[in-house]
A and B are shown apart, each in its own frame.
Chain A
Amino acid sequence: MLLTLHKREEALGRGAPVVYLCALALSLCVCALMLALAGKPALGGLAVLFRGAFGQTHALLDALLKAIPIFLCSLGVALSFRMQIWNIGAEGQFALGAVGATWAALTFGGQPAVVLMPLMLLSALILGALWGLIPAWLRLRLGVNEIISSLMLNYVGILVLEYLVFGAWKDPLSFGFPMSPEFPPAAQLSRIWPGVLGKLHWGLLACPLAGVAYSVFLNRTRLGFELAACGEGERVARYARLPYGFLVLLVMGLGGALAGLAGSIETSATLGRLQPTLMVGYGYTAIVVAWLARLKPWPIAFTAFLLAALRVGVEAMQLELQIPAAFGQIMEGAILLCVLAGQFFLTYSVSLKRARPAAPKASPQPEEAQA
C-alpha cells in the first residue's frame, strides 16, 4: 500500500469546512492528550477552555475586545501580502500609532472630545503610515528587502515608544515608573454600553468600517484590481505598465495606518495612557491570522476572534486547573499547526494505491508530482 498525493484540479470548495473541522478536532485531541499527560482532566479541561472562551457573556466580550487590534493589524498586513509585499512591521507601526495618539492627547489635552479624538486618530494614522512607508521607500529606492527592514523597524518603533515614556512623557506623578500621564477623559474612547456590553468600546466601530473599505477597495476599484495583478510579480506588473512603485507605497502606507489605528485605539480605550506594556505582540499575531484566513476579510475577522477567544479561554484554564502559562502557548501552537496542515488538503488529495510488486523499498510517503 502506498500513499500518493495529487494536486486537486480545483481547490476544495464545499469540503473545506469539513477539512477545517477535522483539523480543529484533531488539534483538540492533541490538547486533550497533553492535558491527560500532565495529569489534568482531559475532557473537563477542554470544557473549561470552551466555557472560558465562549460560555459566558463576559468571556465573549473580552474576546471581541482583544480581537479588535488583532483584526485591524491583520487587515493591514493582508493588504500588502496580497501583492506579495511582506510587511512584518505591524508591531512597530502599532507602536508609532500609539505614540501619535499620545502626542495629540498630551498636546491638545484641553480640547473637547470632538476635536481631540479626530486629532489623535489622525496623528496615529499618519505616524503609522510613515513607519510603513520607510521600508516601502527603502525597497523601491535601494532594493532593501522589506521583510528585514520592516521587522527591524519594529524594534526601533518600540524603542521610540520607550524613549518617550522613560523620558519626555514620563508622568511626574508616577514615581519614576515608565508611563505617560493619564489621558484626559476626552482622549479616552468611551464604552459603548457599560452596563450591558462591559468594556467594549467605540473602537469596535473601526473594524466593520475598515473591513468594508478593504473589500470595496480590492473588489470594486481599479487600483484594487491592479494590486491583485501586481501580486503575480514585480516584472509582470512593470511589463503591464502597472504603477508598481505607487502601489507598494500605497499598501505599506495603508497597512501602517491600520496598525497605527489599532495602536491608538489600544492606548486610548484600554490603558488610557502610554505604557511600554501596551506592546504585547498583536502585530505578530496579525501575520498568523492573515495567513490562516488566506487574506480574506471575513475569515480574518473570524480567525482574529477565535484566536483572541482561545487566549481568553486559556486564562480560565490556568486559573481553574492551575496549568502553567506555557501550556496555553503549546495549545495555540497545536491548533495553528493542525489548521495549517489541514489547509494542505484543500489543494491536494491523498489516495491509497496498491504497491507494485517490483517496487523498490519506498519511503512511506513518496510524492508523485502531478500537475
Chain B
Amino acid sequence: MKKLLRSVGACALSLALGLTLVLTGCEKAAEKPAEKAAPAAEGPKTGELKVGFVYTSPVGDAGYSWAHDQGRMAIEALPDVKASIVEAVKEGADAERVIENMARSGYDLIFTTSFGFMDPTMKVAKDFPKVKFMHCSGFKAGENVSNYFGRIYQARYLTGMVAGSMTKSNIIGYVAAFPIPEVIRGINAFTLGARSVNPKAQVRVVWTKTWFDPALEKDAAISLLDVNADVIAQHQDSPGPQEAAQQRGKYSIGYNSDMAKFAPKAHLTSAVWNWAPLYEAIVKEVREGKWTGNRSIWWGMDKGIVDIAPFGPMVPKAVADKVLAKKAELVKGEDKIFVGPIKDQGGKIKIADGVKAEDKELLGMTWFVEGVVGSVQ
C-alpha cells in the first residue's frame, strides 16, 4: 500500500506541475494583450458592470459586513449591475488571492472593505491597471485605487450624548476591537459626546483584539458590567455585548446597524452605517467614466452615510431632542466634534482652544481623550 500511495502521489503531483507549466504557456498568450490594451482612464462603461465586494467577516445579521452588504444590494438593484461578494476572507495571503481572482474574472470595480485588505489591494491593483479598486478604511491609494470611509465618529458622538444622559453610575463600558485609529477615534468622539452632557461620565475600554467573536465580546461586556458600568457601547460586529447588557438589566448602544432587535429592553440607539449613497455614487462615476484613483473619500452625516438608529422607548424626550438638535448641525455639515480645547488622559492639551483637528490627525489618532479609562495598547 505504501508503494502504491507513493506512486499515486508522485503521479498526481507531477501531473499537477506538468499541467501548470503547459497551461501557463497557453494562458500567457491569451492574457497579455487584453491587459495592456487600455490605460487607467477610459470612457463611460456600458453593458453589464461587474462589482465585487470582499468582506473579512461573514455577512451575518447585523454587523459591519452586513451593513456593507445592504449597500451592495442597493447597487445591485441598479440596471445592468452584478454585485457579488466573497465573505469571511482572512486578511493575510488569502485576501490577495481572492482579490486577484476577482480582478481576473472580469470584475470592473472591486470594493475591499477591511483595513487589512489594504496591502493586498495595492498589490493586485498594480497587476490589473484596468480594474478600479476602492479600499475601505485605509490610507493608501494609487492610479486605480481610491480609499473611502465614513465619519462614523459623528454618529458615535451622538450615541455618546445618549449614553452620558442615561448613565446613573457615571461609568460607561465600551467593548472595542483593536487599538487602531479608527476605533480610538470612535471612542474619543463617544467620550466627548458623553461628557458634553455629563462631565462626570467616564468611559471604560476593554480590548478584544477581534472584530467578530460573539462569545468573547459578550464576556468583555460582562466584565465591564461587573465594574458597575450601566451602559455598554461597542465597536464590534456581533450583538453579543447588547445581549449581555439586557441580561443584566442595563442599557446598551449598538454599532453597524440598528441592534434593537437583539436587546429591545436595553438598546438605547446605535451608530449605524448606510453605505448605499456612497456605493451608488461610485457606480455612477464608473458608468459615466468619471471615476479616478488617488482619492480619499471620507463622507459624513451630511451625505447620509452614517446615522443613528431610532431611540429606544426608555430614552426621555428631552434627551432625544438634545441629541437630534446636535444631529441637525452635523447633517448641515457643521462638524465641531474635534474642536479644541481637547485634553488627553493625562490632562495635557492635545488640540488647542478653537482649533479644529485636521483629517490627517484624526486618521492617525493614537491617544485617548480625558475621561477614557484604559490604554491604547
Contact = CB atoms under 8 A, between A and B. Distances in A.
B101 A17 contact: no
A interface majority secondary structure: helix
A176 B94 CA distance: 23
A273 B119 CA distance: 11
Given A17-B8, A296-B2, A315-B98, A301 B180 contact: no
Interface in B21-39: 21, 23-25, 27-28
Interface string B69-99: 0000000000000001111111111101110
Contact of A58 (B58, B104, B119): B104
B168 to A, nearest CB: 34
B129 interface: no
B9 interface: yes
29 contacts: A17-B4, A58-B27, A60-B20, A64-B16, A64-B20, A175-B181, A175-B366, A176-B184, A176-B365, A178-B178, A195-B28, A270-B93, A271-B92, A271-B93, A271-B119, A272-B119, A280-B90, A280-B92, A280-B94, A296-B2, A296-B6, A298-B5, A299-B9, A301-B13, A302-B12, A305-B16, A316-B101, A320-B84, A326-B58
B139 A175 contact: yes
A233 interface: no
B364 A176 contact: yes
A176 B21 CA distance: 43
B93 A266 contact: yes
A296 B181 contact: no
- Main SS at interface, chain B: helix
Interface centre among B10, B16, B85, B93, by most A CB within 10 Å?
Answer: B93
A8 to B, nearest CB: 11
A11 interface: yes
A177 B184 CA distance: 11
B52 interface: yes
Interface residues of A, number: 54
Given A298-B9, A302-B13, A176 B366 contact: yes
Contacts of A326: 58, 88
Contacts of B180: 175-178
B84 A322 contact: yes
Given A175-B366, A318-B86, 11 more contacts: A14-B4, A54-B19, A57-B23, A61-B20, A162-B209, A176-B364, A178-B178, A196-B21, A277-B91, A296-B5, A305-B16
A315 B105 CA distance: 12
A195 B25 CA distance: 10
B187 interface: no
Contacts of A143: none
Interface string A297-325: 01101100100000010011011101011
Nearest to A325: B88
Interface in A172-197: 175-178, 195-197
A294 to B, nearest CB: 8
A120 B295 CA distance: 38
B1 A11 contact: yes
A117 B104 CA distance: 33
Contact of B24 (A13, A162, A196): A196
Contacts of B59: 324
The 7 closest A-B pairs by CB, nearest first: A325-B88, A298-B9, A277-B91, A57-B23, A270-B93, A302-B9, A176-B366
A312 B13 CA distance: 17
Contacts of B91: 275, 277
A12 interface: yes
Interface string B174-189: 0000111100100000
Nearest to B5: A299
A364 to B, nearest CB: 30
A301 B20 contact: no
A325 B6 contact: no
Contact of B363 (A162, A175, A275, A302): A175
Contacts of B2: 296
A26 B56 CA distance: 32
A240 interface: no
A123 to B, nearest CB: 21
Contacts of A178: 178, 180
Contact of B179 (A16, A60, A176): A176
Contacts of B105: 319
B102 interface: yes
Nearest to A162: B209
B92 A277 contact: yes
A56 interface: yes
A305 B13 contact: yes
B116 interface: yes
Contact of B86 (A196, A277, A319): A319
Interface in A219-243: none
Contacts of A176: 179-181, 184, 364-366, 376
Contacts of B86: 315, 318-319, 325
